[in-house]
Amino acid sequence: MSQKKVLFIVGDFVEDYEIMVPYQMLLMVGHACHCICPGKSSGDYVMTAIHDFEGHQTYSEKPGHRFVLNADFATIDPENYDALVLPGGRAPEYLRMNARVLEIVKHFANAGKPIAAICHGPQILSAAGVLVGKECCCYPAVEYEVTAGGGKYVAPNEQFNSACVSGNLVTAAAWPAHPAWMQAFVALLGTKIEL
């Protein structure tokens, strides 16, 4: 397997599982993963939030962990990366207002490089204008933004553990979908796992 370079864009109150788990999964299969955040550098950290489904009308939110960044947002060159991951949580709602974030996302979309987005991550895709003609699964509260951005909303299955592949894009509604979401993403990357 040839190592791929994967870029993650995160911010404070990114969903804890949606950054920690895919980051570790992709490292486990041999890829290089770099995590960036606007206004922050390698060695800085973002605070995560843990979202859970406990029978309320929406998810609950609890304090997560400090996730340490390992690349500098100001100097990152998306040309050097093979794929992009956009975790969910509350971070996407303000990350989508950063012009450089949208520029980076457009690079991956225009180049046809694999993009993985989960939960509220598609808010960034919609703001970047890269969902036109694409099918996209997301947290149900983000459905309007997907359709307003020209995408076709794909509802998650009842267990929220399904993923949707549309060209170079793989999306899912929430962290219970990690196995399906990451399996589809590594397939787009051409990753071969031998046990």
Q: Name the residues annotated as catalytic.
A: 119-120
Q: What are phi and psi of 62, to 5 degrees?
A: -130, 155
User: What letters, b where the CB count within 10 A reaches 16 and e where it falls short, cover 14-38?
Assistant: bbbbbbbbbbebbeeeebebbbbbb
> What is the C-alpha end-to-end distance of the chain, expressed in Å?
13
Region of 3 (left: φ > 0; alpha: ψ -120 to 50; beta: rest) is beta
